[in-house]
Structure 1
Amino acid sequence: MFFDQSPYPVRFEWGEQAIQHLAPHSEAVVVVDVLSFSTCVEVALSRKAQVLPYRWKDHTARQHAQKHGALLASSERRFDGQFSLSPVSLQTLPEGAKLVLPSPNGASLSALAAEVPGVQVFTACLRNARAVGEFLRDRFSSVLLVAAGEKWMDGTLRPAIEDLWGCGAVIQALDLPGSETRSPEAEMARVAFEHIQQDVLHHLQSCASGRELVERGFAADVLLAGQLNTSRVVPHFLEETYGWLEETH
């Protein structure tokens, strides 16, 4: 198929269609949802917690949490003492906790990728991009980076540039020699990240998604998400749960 980027070990594409068309031809899939699913997972795992992504933002999320003996994060972003899709709210998550995290973007992509036979699923954000890339580099011969994006009001995909940057940061860390190892799509993501690398936080605060969060009172979430390569957490999705697979050095 022309669209699967299979001649290249490192691939990049957007949203659910990436999972459908490219994941079956890849050994590893990395879901990138910088603001904020992937950052939430990284923050939670840095607390030695486990994250159970949940695709639906309805009453069934509570039932899912009860089934697994887990805490339930609010599907609405908030930091009023309740755990939520605000990464800042998860900085006080009890160590070793289980957390159900409802998210229509990152959680859905993680679940869809996990349904593809033989594929290992990870998630990455700007905070742990280098750690994830370095971990994958010597372990997999084909890696697909999936930018989650956001949704327009009609439910269609809105490409979100912060997820392009996050994918590019992981691709840079994969550091495979020669541009021929990266599809043109993956190379585009890498170059886009390198363009903003020297001032990641400024660009994150200035892009559409970042400006939305700042104006809604969640500037602290953007600040946390923009801390480039401050984490060594490598989130691995296995049996409906993101856990910290291994610390890299």
Structure 2
Amino acid sequence: MRLLLDLGNTRLKWALEDQGRWHAQGAAAWDDDLALLASTWEALPPPAAAFGASVVDDAREQAVAAQVRTLFGREVTWLRTPASACGVHNAYPAPGRLGVDRFLAMVAAHAAGAGDCLVVGVGTALTLDALTADGRHLGGLIAPGPRLMQRALLGATAQVRPGTDGVLVDAADNTADAVASGCWQAAAALVERFVARMTPRLGQTPAVRLDGGDAPGLVPLLGLPVAMVEHGVLHGLAVWAQAQSGNSAAP
């Protein structure tokens, strides 16, 4: 039994996994008290190992590691983005500069047999990566997620002050709808442009895998078929953890 940890910008997501089967899972926002998370973990069977992927600061990473140590007596093995692992080959010349969350989402796609695909994460950031069927990462893009775009716009302007959240329309007649629609449509347009630019390099139209908390909101705006994926980072981490276990068991 393994405890898997995905420390994202907005939330900590976790799963208790054994040989590909999830026995429990959950999430907690960073502004929640970690003691609440500990109360949930106390009811779990103790894991034999803990593995984590983190894109947050050292302080939060160490706070989570301390909880795992206190509750389960285990040290967290943190994955730092490698040049190659689990059949995926990182395109970055400096491998560690690629976010581990992006790398693990590609590991999950490759392990699932997704073939030539684009792996899109829709959260605080909008991340897009192209992956060939044989595991070659062709590179990717990073942009603000649609909600972060909205917050950035409101923070940088004096007159754009909608009183409501706004709804998505093709052309707005009020500021609230204009802000919401503009930011979400910009995200959708970037995904569609990335598909168009990567298709010639892949030799065929790639499958598009959408993951992240805001992925459901983006799907209706896309003029192309997509596959919704849940917890791609955790699934990729499970593949990596299994490979590590296999390596450590090898003579």
With the shorter chain as reference, the TM-score category is under 0.3
The structure with the greater share of residues assigned to strand is 2
TM (normalized to structure 2)?
0.26
TM (normalized to structure 1)?
0.26
Task: Report 1 or 2 for greater relative contact order, CA contacts < 8 Å, sequence distance ≥ 6.
Answer: 1
